[in-house]
Amino acid sequence: MSKRPTKLTAAAIGAGLLLTGGVLATVTGGAANAAETASSAAATCGVLYDDFAYSSSTDTAFTGHGWTARSNSGGPGVAGATWKPQNITFPTVDGQKVAQLQSSTDGTAAGTVQSEFLTTAQKFKDGTYAARIKFSDTPSSGTDGDHVNETFFAIGPAQKQTFDPDYSELDFSEYLPNGGWGEQGPINYQTSWNGYQDDPWVAHNAHDSQNASLAGWHNVMATVSAQHVKYYIDGTLVGDQTYDDATGTFPVWPRANMSVNFNLWFIDTAGHTSGNSVYQEQVDWFYYNKDTVQTPAQVNSAAAGYRSAGSTFQDTVGTGTCTNPPTDPTSPPVTPTTPPVTPTTTPPTTPPTGPANCSTAAEWSWSQVYLAGDKAKHNGHLWSANWWTQGSEPGLTAQWKDLGPC
């Protein structure tokens, strides 16, 4: 994959900004606890829920609840672009108050405006992350075609050295409706990072992607537990990442606490054609359950519980003593005595013996969406999808299990 800039460098968001702020323990509304029935550990380790019921990015409730709208210059995105806090607004969309990011470009650096809001505290690591996000395939005004990136991610302190062992970043969703990084759109990425080298560019990360439109509302979720980072879209598992794709030796689960960020930025201006184009990304709610693994159904139930109770904000993260580490019975810890020296996506040295029953399986198709357990024939073998996948060729990626020759 082409070089993909990280969200934070020494010249980007700035460690000073991210390290300010404190831990809040505030509940807005009368019955927020009713939403925490999904896990008994929630009350111990803490939950953050925000419905984004604010008036502006300067609303004292917005900043008091631990958020800030970015104004400082730097990457990611178009060099020389401006970051405007006033482009973070809170309109009513589809009947519900939302956080809205708006970014625009006229094809020049001086005429490019990007937007981001993030938590001021870095207190997020293991546990369950989720947000309900409205992605867009087209601009709200102007010509289409720009390489815009609609994102939701968590990131720790900037690298102190090349391949910093403490560098942590989880890109829960990077949606490129018009493509970018040499890829055609629409495409959506989930990426877990170990570290990187700037020049020449070398990335230690693992990623999954989906070649399909995400226009509209979607629940984006991830769990971090037992050295696995699992990504979900609308309840469907789309990635399970542990070590980097290239070597299979560098762990990609977070090693340090992170902030949570929503960002709408332009990879470049190469796709711009004419005039000024305006793009929007909207966030209905954000949810985090510290050191606790929940299912998509449990998260949806918790969010619905807050809303039905009229509770717009709760933050108890870091206010208690966690006695239970995150547990995920489906994912035993990945701590090999001798780390693999080849990519985890390399086909097994000794393929399964056959023949497999290929009579009912169709040939693999690049454009076909496959769910976990779906079968396809490719290169004379029968394959089974490990989870949601599209455009990932059997035999070359971890999305497929080889069931043997036909």
Tens of pLDDT, residues 222-239: 999 999 999 999 999 999
The structural domains of the chain, with segments of one domain joined by +, span: 15-315, 345-406
How confident is the model at residue 342, as a pLDDT?
A: 34
pLDDT for residue 348 is more than 50: no
Q: What is the average pLDDT across 175-196?
A: 95
DSSP state at residue 158: P
Cα dihedral across residues 356, 361, 363, 368: positive or negative: negative
Model pTM score: 0.74
User: Residue 160 and residue 175: Cα distance in Å, rounded?
Assistant: 28
**Do 115 and 70 touch, CB atoms closer than 8 A?**
yes
User: Residue 131 and residue 172: Cα distance in Å, rounded?
Assistant: 10
* Residue 131 dihedral angles phi and psi, to the nearest 5°: -155, 145
How confident is the model at residue 118, as a pLDDT?
A: 98
Q: Could you read off the pLDDT of 188-207 as tens digits, one per residue?
A: 999 999 999 988 889 999 99
Which carries the bigger pLDDT value, residue 91 or residue 181? 91
Average pLDDT, the chain: 82
Q: What is the average pLDDT across 102-110?
A: 96
b (16+ CB within 10 A) / e for 356-381: bebeebeebeeeeebeeebbbbbeeb
**Do 99 and 287 touch, CB atoms closer than 8 A?**
no
Please provide the CATH number assigned to the domain covering 15-315. Answer: 2.60.120.200
Q: Which of 129-133, 247-251, 326-330 has the lowest average pLDDT?
A: 326-330
Question: What is the band of 135 on the pLDDT scale with cuts at 50, 70, 90?
Answer: very high
How confident is the model at residue 397, as a pLDDT?
A: 61
User: Residue 264 and residue 281: Cα distance in Å, rounded?
Assistant: 7
Q: Is 95 helix (H, G, I), strand (E, B) or coil?
A: coil
**Do 52 and 15 touch, CB atoms closer than 8 A?**
no
Q: Is 229 helix (H, G, I), strand (E, B) or coil?
A: strand
**Of the candidates 25, 117, 61, which has an alpha carbon nearest to the alpha carbon of residue 317?**
25
Q: Is 307 helix (H, G, I), strand (E, B) or coil?
A: helix
Domain 345-406, second-level architecture: Ribbon (2.10)
Q: What is the average pLDDT across 91-111?
A: 96
Q: What is the average pLDDT across 172-195?
A: 95
DSSP state at residue 351: P
Listed in sequence order, the residues at least 6 apart from 274 whose beta carbon sits closer than 8 Å to its beta carbon are 107, 143
How confident is the model at residue 320, as a pLDDT?
A: 61
